[in-house]
Every structure is written in C-alpha cells, then in structure tokens.
Structure 1
Amino acid sequence: MSRGFVKEDDQEENPIIPNRAPLPAGAANYVTANGLKELILEQESLEAERKAVPAEESPEKRSALKVINGKLNMLIERINSAEVVDLSEIESDEIRFGAIVTFQFSNESQKRIFQIVGVDEADVKEKKIAFTSPIAKALMGKKTKENTQLQLENGTKDITIHKIEYPSS
C-alpha cells in the first residue's frame, strides 16, 4: 500500500501518559474530603487545559489532547472509585486512616509528624503519607506511647508513637 493512503494519525507515536500513584489491586480508594476536593480541582484544571489547546489540526495538538484526555480518564476513574472517610466522625485512640501521627524513630532525637491519607493525596513535603506506604502500615492500629517496628531491607527501625489526632474537617 502506498504511504499516501495511510492515515496521518497512524504515523504519529502515542505519547507517554504517566500513571497515577499506585493503588494495590483490591484495595479501596480511601480519600479524605480534602483529597476529593483536590482531585476535583485537578479535573477542572485538566478540562480547562483541554479547552485551551489551539483549534487548528496539527500533530502537536493531537498529541497534547491525547495526554490531557489520558490523564483525565485516569483521574475520573480515581474520582469515581473514591471512598471518602469522614474524619470528623472518628473517635479513636488508635491510628487509622486520616490520623495525624507524631512519632519518633528510636535512633533519632527529633519527632516526626505525618497524616495518613489516600494515595493521590500523599506528599511527603506536605507531611502526608499514603495509607499503603510501609510506614503507614507499621503505624496502623497502634496507640499513643506504643512501640512498633518498621521493616526495612537492611533491618528494622523502632518507632515510638507520641500523639494521635484526627482533623475536625
């Protein structure tokens, strides 16, 4: 077949669309109310970005739209599967999803504070860790003043829990 009869789209490479944060197979997609708001804002931003793509037909436009649409599809899938956990209703003295935990590694003098959140909300800079992370798994179910261990490739780290709180909203 002559190249003249091949659709132009067939000659373009498909862009690489980065995956969202991994959610283990079969795991619920827990999110905080704030996390769901952030996902919806991200969706609105991507939709605005899609509208801003120039109207003229070009390989660059088609590629940009494929990336945006791919990101939107993955995001909408996450939004649709989101299970919002109402943190204001949690009255617990143990660490669960949404808890803000103050803890300390036995070999360090400084205390650390992290909130356990959904996979899409996790951001170490913001002191938020995913409930699927090894440290969150080590902390889950523990209480204040309790000790636990974090399993690492080269051994274990002892952890002491100092404070557990849940945000009111």
Structure 2
Amino acid sequence: MNKVPMTVEGADALRAELNDLKKVQRPRIIEAIAEAREHGDLKENAEYHAAREQQSFCEGRIQEIEGKLSNSQVIDVKAIPHSGKVIFGTTVTIVNVETDEEKVYRIVGDDEADVKVNKISISSPIARALIGKEEGDVVMVKAPGGDVEYEIDKVEHI
C-alpha cells in the first residue's frame, strides 16, 4: 500500500484529535449511554438512541484517524537540506504573471489541505505544477477556469 505524505504538524493534529476522542469523548458517550439505560424502555428512549449514534460517529472517526496515521509517511521539511526547490511541506509565494496577484501556499498532505489557511494538497493542480521548480521559474497551472501562469517568487522551508 502506498504511504500518504503528511507534515509533522498534520500528524500531531490527528494524534491530538485521536487522544481527545479516546480519552474524553468516548468515556463521556459511554456515561451518557449508561445514564440513558437507567431511564427504562430503550425502544422509545431518545437520549439512548442519540448517545448510541454519537458513539457510532466517534468510533468511526477513531478508526478513520488510526487508518490515516498508519498509512502516512510523516515528513519533517525542516530536517531536509534547503535546496531552493519546491518540495512537499514548503511554503511557496507565487505571483500571477498577468495580474501581479501574489499568493502564498504551503504544500501539505490531502488530509491537511485547507485553502482558507493557504494549505494546498500535494495532489492539487497548483502543487503538482510547482513541485521540483525553483525561485524565479514560471509555471503553467492547468486550472478549471483555464491555464494560468505563475512565477515562483519565494520558497521557504518553514
């Protein structure tokens, strides 16, 4: 099975969520189920059914996170020598050649991607176009709205 790249921060966030689910959420849900059982008839007990549904979601998320962590390859970009090239985990400042609009993106794993905080997936069209390029290079990104040319302004190993 192929390993999925993940930053150290992404892996830490998943581990923290997993810890919360196992040590805080799971016991709280078990307590809610036990309390709802004490109320009597389970067929018509809305509290019981709601707690069981929460338990199902919680256990599913635990399995999902454990699966992601077991299939991940954690990459610490700070430990990689600075080559000036765009690689997984680097922060890249790009400038649209036509509009001079500047954007800053960090290239991360699929599970960590969040455009709202400028984190793009390694499998996104922009990241695929940038990987392996250096500062000063001009890249063509095949976007859904058409091809866009960007110049790589800065590559940072943060």
Answer with 102-111 or 74-83: which moved more.
Answer: 102-111
Q: Could you tell me how far apart the structure 2 residues matched to 1:82 and 1:68 are?
A: 21
Q: Name the CA distance, whole Å, in 1 between partners of 2:115 and 2:90.
A: 15
Q: Does structure 1 residue 138 correspond to structure 2 residue 129?
A: yes
Distance 2:51 2:144 in 1: 45
Paired residues for 1:20-169 under 5 Å: 27-47=2-22, 48-53=24-29, 54=32, 55=34, 56-57=36-37, 58-90=48-80, 91-167=82-158
Q: What is the TM-score when the length of structure 2 is the normalising length?
A: 0.83
Letter in 2 for 1:44: N
**Segments of 4+ moved more than 6 angstroms:** none
Deviation of residue 27 (structure 1)? Answer: 4.9
The secondary structure found in structure 2 opposite 1:96 is coil
Q: Distance in 2 between matches of 1:72 and 1:94?
A: 36
- Counterpart residue identity of residue 72, structure 1: I
Alpha-carbon shift at residue 154 of structure 1 (Å)? 4.0
Structure 1: distance between partners of 2:145 and 2:78: 38
Residue by residue over 1:121-166, the C-alpha shift from the partner in whole angstroms, topping out at 9 and shown as x without a partner, is: 1111221111111111111111110001111234200111001010
Q: Decide which moves more: 44-53 or 90-99.
A: 44-53
Structure 1 residue runs without a partner (length 5+): 1-25
Are the aligned partners of 2:90 and 2:157 in contact in 1 as well (CA < 8 Å)?
Answer: yes
Normalized per residue, the structure richer in helix is: 2
Q: TM-score, normalised by structure 1?
A: 0.78
Determine if contact 2:2/2:71 at 8 Å carries over to the other structure: no
The alpha-carbon deviation at position 28 of structure 1 amounts to 2.8
